[in-house]
Structure formats: structure tokens, C-alpha cells
């Protein structure tokens, strides 16, 4: 490792340490601090790092690759399916609207229609890194604007694949030039239609290999029991896929994103997230510092009017399209402004697409450098636009900011049972345990609920049960039982995954709202799953049988048998639910089998003159009422 690389790394980290706290102290976003650090230390500032920005971009590339891997890893297929209408509607509207408006504008600049269309598609992308980081810092990820922004960004990330397949069809490819520029790409010198087909085949091959090769490979490595080896193997897969994508002439960042998508649907998802999470902020910081340092001020100086005008034009057009979409979706003005300004910049995939556009000779290198500057300017401008929105626009519309939550309580109690979540479900469990002399350490993350329950005489601690520090302070290392009863299934699952990773000895009993939630818990290795809908529905069914003339004992026994058979069937069906045809067939078989078993049980006990505990029935017979 060269000393120059170490010096540049030292300068990068040092600049971030100096400027990010400074920006936060001024009430600015951390992103502004990173961008400012990059501008000052970059080749167009003090020149501490970089020669014309080239070596700095190599450092930034790895940050982008890892960032997009994390984005792909966080792509929950279940959440994607539930949000499919929002993702398709908002995302497609944004991309089509932006492209259709920018395309004629580009034509007025005397560009060819191929160049205008390619650049318009690249400029329709927004920055996943900036938007998600900003929403997280403002605690607005779950707001209307936050969820709409995530839908648009998710659609854009996926749309990169067909766009990369389309671009070669627009290119005026010179085989000799392509051979020189593609760095050994297998696509070099091939016809445009074949290059487009190659993109689709490469993506499909990676997805298939991920399912049938990568996941089994990680399972094999995980048997060693070495956590660091699993992390190293995952990084090997990510870098390997990124390298292969580069060899075939595609973006390494796209390869990393696809690798994350493949692993997102595997049992290693939470393990990888917990392993890579500590580096996520640092990698994003590296990316933002790199963006700031690679703003080519020489290009801006040589042609300031056109570059600044084009950057402003893109921001205005994208803002207008997004604001119109927000109005059509009936967003409030405050949420719509946040949504529209937040996504108005050109994103990191803009760099990726412009690089590919230049490689296949759709635009010349000089224009490509100017467009790269436009992308960097819009990204650097966004935090300032959001700051203006916060300070001078949103106060007039009263945007609801997330209220500051109090600090977590210090837990001074040690019990064998820890109860996470004390809503209606957890409250019932806690009262039953206490009535039978069992004390539990109760943790809940709703400060209003905690205060109310304390006034009612319950000893409840306020805090986020998914935090390892709080779990350890609650004595989870010495406890024997964790009851996961949090209202949100997603939070409940995240808690369980963390506990299973760090406290594998602990017995877990988990709440599930329905059968689908139970399936996910079973996949995570939780055997004691309690479905709300099951027990309430069975209880009602038992009462209905009694009302229709069944003896209470018989009805209760049949209800318990139904639960017993249904829980056995749940475990069998959990493994088959990913194959819809096999799942439907299995469900039909299990229903028929359960009904036959229950009918047999009922007939057997009827023939044996079933007179078990039902004193009310006996009294009715004596009185002659039956």
C-alpha cells in the first residue's frame, strides 16, 4: 500500500472530522459539511488530494459501490410488493415527465436526438444517498414525503437496468475507440443491439447465480462459525460481481446493487446489515467528500454561464415535475415541497450513466466533462435548497417535525423475563405474569404510553428495545426468556434477529399479527410464535359452537385441537410459501386433513359418552332442561 494513498485517506477523514461538526454546529446538514470538506481539500481548492480529480474519483468509486450494495441489501421484497403501486405510479411519472421535458430542451442546444435522449434519461435520476440521509437526519423517513421519495428512488434504481440496455442502441459506436475506452470490455466492438442484449443477459445471469451459487456458498462459509469470515465472503461476492460487471462493460455500482438485491432475500440479510452498518456512514461520507472535491471548477470557469444555466434548468424542471406529481397525489404543501426539492438534483447514477454514455460515444469527452460538473453542482446545491426550505419556507406551512424523544431510562432491574412492547398485547401478558408472581423487566418505546402505565402502577422502562446497549443493561445476558410483543412486526422482527445473533442461548416467544408474520418468524428460527388472529378467532368459534348446542368442554377441546393442528401445518407451509402453486396445493391438503382429524376426534369422544368437566351440562340434565 503506497504512502500517498494513506496520506490521502488521512486527509479525507481529517477533513470530515473538522468540517462536519462545524456544519452541524451551524445547524446545517452533515452532507453540507462533507461537500465543503471535499471542495476545500480537493484539486480545485487547497489541492491536498487529487490530480485533476482523477485519483479522487477512484476512491469515491468504492464508496459508491458499497453504498449501492447497502441500498440493494435493504430492498425488502415484501415491502416492495406492498408498495408496488406507489413505486410504479410515482417513479414512472417522475422519470417520464422529466425525460419528456428535458429532451426538447436538449435538442435546442443543437445536440443530436440520441445525445438529448441519453442525457435526459441520465438527468432524470435523483440521489438516493442525499435524499435518504437527509430524511434520516430529519426523522422524516416515515412521513408522506419520505415514503413517496423512497418509492421514486426505488423505481429509479431498478430503471437503471433497462436504461443501460437501451443506451447502446443510441450510440454511434466506433469499434476501435470502444476497444480503447472499454478497458478490456467483452462488449468492445460489438453491434449496438448485441450490447443491449448483453446487458440484459448479464443482469439475469447475476440474479440466477446469486440464487443458486452465492447463497449456498455463504451457507457453506457460515458453517465455520467465524463471523468475520462471513463478512469477508460477502465482500468478496460484492467486489467480484462489481468486477465482472466492469469486465462486460457495465457499471460496477450496478453490479453491487444487484448483489445486494440477491442477498436481501436470503437468511444473511440481517447479519450483513449489522456487519456493514458501522461502515455505512463513513462510506457515505467518503462519497459526499468525493463529490465536493470533483466539482471541476476549471470547466465552470471556462463556460460558467452554460453550466450554471443547465444545472439551474434541470433543478427547475425536476422540481416542477415532482411538485405536479405531489399535487396530483394530494400531498400537503409542506410535504410536497420537501418531496420536490429533495429529489430535484441529479443522482449518483447520473455519474454512472454519463460515464457509460461517454464510453459508447453518444457524446464527446469535452461535453461529458461539463455534464459531470452539472451533476456535481446539483448534488451540492440540494442541501442548501433544503436548508432554505427549512428556515424560510416551511415555517409558513407548519411542517410537522418529529418531536424530540426523551433519553432512554436507566434500567436498574434484573429479571429472568424481559417483555419488549407493552401495548394491548404485551399489557395482557404482563398482568397475567404479575398475577402469578412472575416479575418481568418491561421496555416500551412510546413515552406517552410509558407515562400512562406508570400512573396506573406498572413499572415500565422507556427505551428502544432493538438497541443492544439497552438490552444488555436490561440484563438480557442473564435472562432466560424474551417476550417480543412490539406492535410493529418489522420492529419485532429486527429485535429478534439482533437477539438471536448476540444472545443465541435465550428463549424467545414472539407475537405475530397473522400467518404471514408467523412465516417470517419461523424463517428466523423462532419456534414459539403466537398469532393474534388465530387465538381470538378460535375463541369466538368455540363460543359459537357452545351457542349452537355443543358442550363447553367439547367445544373447548375442539378449539385446542384446531390450534394444535394449525400450528403444525404452519411449520410445514412456511417452507413452501415461496412456490405459489405448491403452496396452494399444500394448503388445500392441510385444510382437508385438519377437518378430517377434528371430525374423527368429535366422533370418537361422542361414542365414548364424553362427560368431562362440564358441570353446567350435568346440572341442566338433572333439571331436565336437556
Residue with cell 351440562: 617
In a domain, 541, yes or no: yes
- Domain presence at residue 617: yes
Are 315 and 389 found together in one domain? yes
Could you give the 3-state DSSP secondary structure of residue 372? helix
Q: pLDDT tens digit string along 130-153?
A: 888 788 777 677 678 888 898 898
- 386 plus 277 within the same structural domain: yes
506, 481 contact by CB (below 8 A)? yes
Total count of domains within the chain: 3
Specify if 502 maps to a domain.
yes
Residue 3 within a domain: no
CATH number of the domain residue 313 falls in: 1.20.1530.20
d(CA 201, CA 39): 40
Which three cell numbers, joined as nine digits, stand for 601? 376426534
Contacts 24+ apart (CB under 8 A), 508-511: 508/481, 508/482, 508/484, 509/481, 509/482, 509/483, 509/484, 510/483, 510/484, 511/421, 511/425, 511/426, 511/483, 511/484, 511/485, 511/486
Same domain, 506 and 540: no
Could you say which of 512, 544, 560 is where a domain stops?
512
**3-state SS record for 552-578:** HHHHHHHHHHHHHHHHHHHHHHHCCCC
Kindly state whether residue 467 falls inside one of the protein's structural domains: yes
**Confidence at residue 400, expressed as pLDDT on a 0 to 100 scale:** 45
Give a yes or no: residue 6 inside a domain.
no
Condensed to tens digits (0 to 9), the pLDDT of residues 419-433 reads 988 888 888 888 888
Shared domain check, 231 and 118:
yes
| Single pTM value for the model | 0.56
Same domain, 305 and 273: yes
Q: How far is the C-alpha of 575 from the C-alpha of 347, rounded, in Å?
A: 40
Report the alpha-carbon angle 135-140-145, nearest 5: 90
Packed helices 54-73 and 227-247: angle between N→C axes, nearest 10 degrees: 120
Please say which residue of 338, 362, 396 terminates a domain. 396
DSSP 50: -
* Domain match, 239 and 304 both: yes
pLDDT computed for residue 123 by the predictor: 95
Q: Which residues of the chain have pLDDT under 70?
A: 1-5, 27-29, 49-64, 67, 74-82, 139, 142, 171-196, 199, 227, 248-251, 253-254, 270-271, 273-281, 283-284, 294, 395-409, 577-581, 583, 598, 601-626
d(CA 391, CA 474): 41
**Alpha-carbon distance 617 to 626, whole Å?**
8
- Domain boundary residue among 396, 427, 461? 396
Sheet holding 528-531, edge to edge: 460-462, 440-444, 417-420, 481-484, 507-512, 528-531
388 and 470 belong to one structural domain: no
209 found inside a domain: yes
CATH number at residue 470: 3.40.50.720
- Express each pLDDT in 352-410 by its tens digit: 788 778 877 888 888 888 898 898 889 888 888 888 887 788 766 544 444 455 666 67
Same domain, residue pair 111 and 148 = yes
Residues 441 and 343 in one domain: no
The domain containing residue 508 runs over which residues? Answer: 410-512
Same domain, 475 and 557: no
Domain assignment of residue 243, yes or no: yes
Q: Are residues 270 and 419 located together in one domain of the fold?
A: no
Could you tell me if 414 and 392 lie in one domain?
no
Amino acid at each position: 500500500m503506497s504512502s500517498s494513498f494513506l496520506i490521502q485517506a488521512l486527509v479525507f477523514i481529517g477533513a470530515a472530522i473538522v468540517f462536519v461538526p462545524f456544519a452541524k454546529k451551524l445547524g446545517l446538514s452533515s452532507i453540507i459539511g462533507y461537500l465543503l470538506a471535499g471542495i476545500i481539500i480537493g484539486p480545485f481548492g487547497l489541492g491536498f488530494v487529487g490530480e485533476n480529480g482523477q485519483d479522487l474519483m477512484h476512491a469515491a468509486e468504492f464508496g459508491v459501490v458499497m453504498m449501492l450494495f447497502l441500498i440493494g441489501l435493504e430492498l425488502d421484497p415484501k415491502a416492495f410488493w406492498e408498495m408496488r403501486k406507489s413505486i410504479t405510479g410515482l417513479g414512472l411519472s417522475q422519470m417520464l415527465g422529466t425525460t419528456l421535458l428535458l429532451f426538447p430542451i436538449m435538442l435546442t442546444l443543437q445536440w443530436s436526438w440520441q445525445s438529448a435522449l441519453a442525457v435526459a434519461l441520465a438527468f432524470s435520476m435523483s440521489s438516493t444517498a442525499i435524499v435518504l440521509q437527509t430524511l434520516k437526519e430529519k426523522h422524516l423517513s416515515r412521513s408522506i414525503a419520505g415514503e413517496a421519495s423512497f418509492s421514486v428512488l426505488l423505481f429509479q434504481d431498478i430503471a437503471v437496468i433497462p436504461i443501460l440496455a437501451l443506451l447502446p442502441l443510441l450510440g454511434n459506436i466506433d469499434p476501435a475507440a470502444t476497444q480503447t475506452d472499454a478497458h478490456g470490455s467483452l462488449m468492445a466492438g460489438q453491434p449496438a443491439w448485441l450490447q443491449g442484449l448483453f446487458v440484459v443477459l448479464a443482469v439475469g445471469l447475476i440474479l440466477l447465480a446469486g440464487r443458486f451459487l452465492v447463497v449456498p456458498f455463504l451457507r457453506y462459509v457460515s458453517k465455520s462459525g467465524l463471523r468475520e469470515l462471513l463478512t469477508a465472503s460477502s465482500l468478496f461476492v460484492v467486489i467480484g460481481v462489481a468486477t465482472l460487471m466492469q469486465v462486460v462493460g457495465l457499471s460496477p455500482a450496478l453490479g453491487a446493487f444487484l448483489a445486494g438485491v440477491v442477498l436481501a432475500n436470503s437468511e444473511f440479510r440481517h447479519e450483513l446489515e449489522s456487519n456493514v452498518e458501522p461502515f455505512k456512514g463513513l462510506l457515505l461520507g467518503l462519497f459526499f467528500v468525493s463529490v465536493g472535491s470533483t466539482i471541476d471548477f476549471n470547466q465552470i470557469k471556462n463556460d460558467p454561464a452554460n453550466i450554471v444555466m443547465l444545472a439551474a434548468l434541470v433543478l427547475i424542471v425536476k422540481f416542477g415535475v415532482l411538485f405536479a406529481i405531489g399535487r396530483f397525489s394530494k400531498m400537503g404543501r409542506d410535504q410536497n415541497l420537501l418531496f420536490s426539492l429533495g429529489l430535484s438534483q441529479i443522482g449518483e447514477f447520473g455519474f454512472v450513466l454519463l460515464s457509460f454514455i461517454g464510453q459508447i460515444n453518444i457524446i464527446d469527452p469535452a461535453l461529458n466533462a461539463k455534464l459531470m460538473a452539472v451533476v456535481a453542482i446539483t448534488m451540492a446545491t440540494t442541501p442548501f435548497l433544503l436548508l432554505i426550505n427549512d428556515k424560510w419556507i416551511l415555517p409558513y406551512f407548519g411542517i410537522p417535525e418529529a418531536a424530540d424523544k426523551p433519553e432512554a431510562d436507566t434500567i436498574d432491574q434484573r429479571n429472568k423475563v424481559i417483555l419488549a412492547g407493552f401495548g394491548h398485547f404485551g399489557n395482557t401478558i404482563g398482568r397475567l405474569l404479575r398475577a402469578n408472581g412472575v416479575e418481568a423487566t418491561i421496555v416500551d418505546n412510546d413515552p406517552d404510553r410509558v407515562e400512562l402505565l406508570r400512573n396506573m402502577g406498572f413499572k415500565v422502562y422507556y427505551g428502544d428495545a432493538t438497541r443492544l446497549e439497552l438490552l444488555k443493561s436490561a440484563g438480557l445476558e442473564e435472562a432466560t426468556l424474551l417476550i417480543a410483543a412490539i406492535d410493529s412486526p418489522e420492529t419485532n422482527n429486527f429485535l429478534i434477529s439482533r437477539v438471536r445473533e448476540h444472545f443465541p442461548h435465550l428463549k424467545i416467544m414472539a407475537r405475530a399479527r397473522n400467518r404471514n408474520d408467523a412465516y417470517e418468524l419461523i424463517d428466523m428460527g423462532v419456534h414459539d410464535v403466537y398469532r393474534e388472529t388465530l387465538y381470538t378467532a378460535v375463541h369466538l368459534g368455540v363460543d359459537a359452537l357452545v351457542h349452537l348446542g355443543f358442550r363447553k368442554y367439547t367445544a373447548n377441546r375442539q378449539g385446542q385441537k384446531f390450534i394444535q393442528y394449525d400450528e403444525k401445518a404452519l411449520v410445514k407451509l412456511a417452507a413452501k410459501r415461496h412456490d405459489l402453486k405448491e403452496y396452494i396445493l399444500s394448503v388445500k391438503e392441510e385444510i382437508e386433513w385438519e377437518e378430517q382429524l377434528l371430525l374423527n376426534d368429535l366422533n370418537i369422544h361422542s361414542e365414548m359418552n364424553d362427560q368431562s368437566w362440564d358441570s353446567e351440562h350435568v346440572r341442566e340434565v338433572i333439571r331436565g332442561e336437556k
